[in-house]
Amino acid sequence: MRVIVIGAGLGGLTLAHGLRRAGIEVAVYERDGVLGRPQGVSLHVDDRGIAALRECLPPAHVAMVEATLGGAREQTLTLSDVEGELAVVAARSSDGMSGRARPGRQAHRPLLRAVLLTGLDDVVRFGAEFRRFEWRADGRVRAFFADGRTDTADVLVGADGVGSAVRRQYLPDVRVADTGRRVMMGATPLGVVAGLGLPGLIGDDPAVARVGGTTMALGVLRFGCRPVVAREKWLPALGSHAVAEIEDYVMWALPVTKERLGSPAEVWRQADEPHPALRSIVAETRQDVTAVLRIGVIPPMPAWPVTPVTVLGDAIHLAPGFGGNLAMRDANRLREALVEADRGRLDLLDAIGAYEDTMRRDSFPTSSAKASA
């Protein structure tokens, strides 16, 4: 069996590792260059994401990821201004119910992606923008790329994120709604803000500060093991640039509307009654990792006819707080299905159909709110 994956994001790369380890030929086509574009600073990784990584990645990659996660996050704190000081005024357990986060740990997103890319040099083709596909008479699928390249395989997987070109052609009725909301995300070195008391106040838990009219999400990432040390121990093949100059930091995220975009300083000037500690965090942010991310919505889709083209992750369902975990879980489930077909234990279309049924059931908002496993 040969599989083409469009998109070298969290889901596409997890799938590529899983298929390769199962001896299935896979090629990943990625629109961006090797460095990619800023995709956010950190990621709350829960049991779904970790389980998928353990199933799909080589053991040394898993060890590298796990060694560099932050501490356990069991609850989400609410911070407010109490007589001029930031204080914890509420704590909500992370139980995964009603859209709440599940327990997990914080990962440095660029590092996770670099680990996922390690060892896939011969699999990932960068600068290859997918344009369209065609069915062939023999049941296989041919993919066409912007630079004139084509490739043919038994299965085509759209892991190409919210703007998925695979989904646009394959499921043209799916509409992605832009909510108009944006989140500006940045990272401020812990050493710079240690004197503010905030890192001690929130520990490893995610926190939401509500001060005056401003709402800001915060999370302290204290690497379990310094990435540079973990690389040496677990994954020397990981490029040294991926671990250079990474230090513990405070991740901050500020909701903004598309009308109120600008540099962090400009956005912050428009914030209502900013607290001095929050202002310092934004003022000292690392400009190079600051990113503005778009919040979209995809309404749940009824089942579609099964073919050798399928989709995973943000290409078909969106969940800004945990969509990466869902993308990695999809990747693992699709890997399982394709391995069953490759070994002749299931018909290919039955395997893809079973994957899609489970994916739809567990990943669209109404069912994910019930915290499916």
Ligand X SMILES: Cc1cc2nc3c(=O)[nH]c(=O)nc-3n(C[C@H](O)[C@H](O)[C@H](O)COP(=O)(O)OP(=O)(O)OC[C@H]3O[C@@H](n4cnc5c(N)ncnc54)[C@H](O)[C@@H]3O)c2cc1C
- Residue nearer to ligand X on the CB measure, 33 or 302: 33
Among residues 53, 44, 77, 113, the alpha carbon closest in space to that of 323 is found at 44
- Residue nearer to ligand X on the CB measure, 21 or 131: 131
With CB atoms as reference, the residue minimizing the distance to ligand X is 9
Rounded least distance, CB 210 to ligand X, Å: 18
H-helix segments, the chain: 10-21, 47-56, 59-67, 109-117, 165-170, 190-193, 198-202, 227-234, 264-269, 276-283, 323-342, 348-363, 365-368
Cβ atoms of residues 293 and 109 within 8 Å: no
Rounded least distance, CB 250 to ligand X, Å: 15
Q: Write out the residues near ligand X by the rule CB under 6 A.
A: 6-12, 29-32, 40, 43-44, 129-130, 159-161, 163, 165, 183, 185, 293, 295, 313-315, 320-325, 327
- Residue nearer to ligand X on the CB measure, 81 or 318: 318
Rounded least distance, CB 85 to ligand X, Å: 28
Rounded least distance, CB 330 to ligand X, Å: 8
Q: Cα 139 vs. chain centroid, distance in angstroms?
A: 32
Please name the residues in contact with 98: beta carbons below 8 A apart, sequence gap of 6 or more: 369
Rounded least distance, CB 232 to ligand X, Å: 27
Rounded least distance, CB 326 to ligand X, Å: 7
Provide φ and ψ at 333, rounded to 5°: -65, -40
Please name the residues in contact with 307: beta carbons below 8 A apart, sequence gap of 6 or more: 135, 170, 349, 352
How far apart CA 145 and CA 312 sit, in angstroms, is: 20
Rounded least distance, CB 221 to ligand X, Å: 11
Q: What six digits make up the tokens of 330?
A: 């999809």
- Residue nearer to ligand X on the CB measure, 264 or 313: 313
How open is the CA angle 200-201-203, to the nearest 5 degrees? 65
- Residue nearer to ligand X on the CB measure, 168 or 228: 168
DSSP state of 224: S
- Residue nearer to ligand X on the CB measure, 44 or 333: 44
- Residue nearer to ligand X on the CB measure, 87 or 360: 360
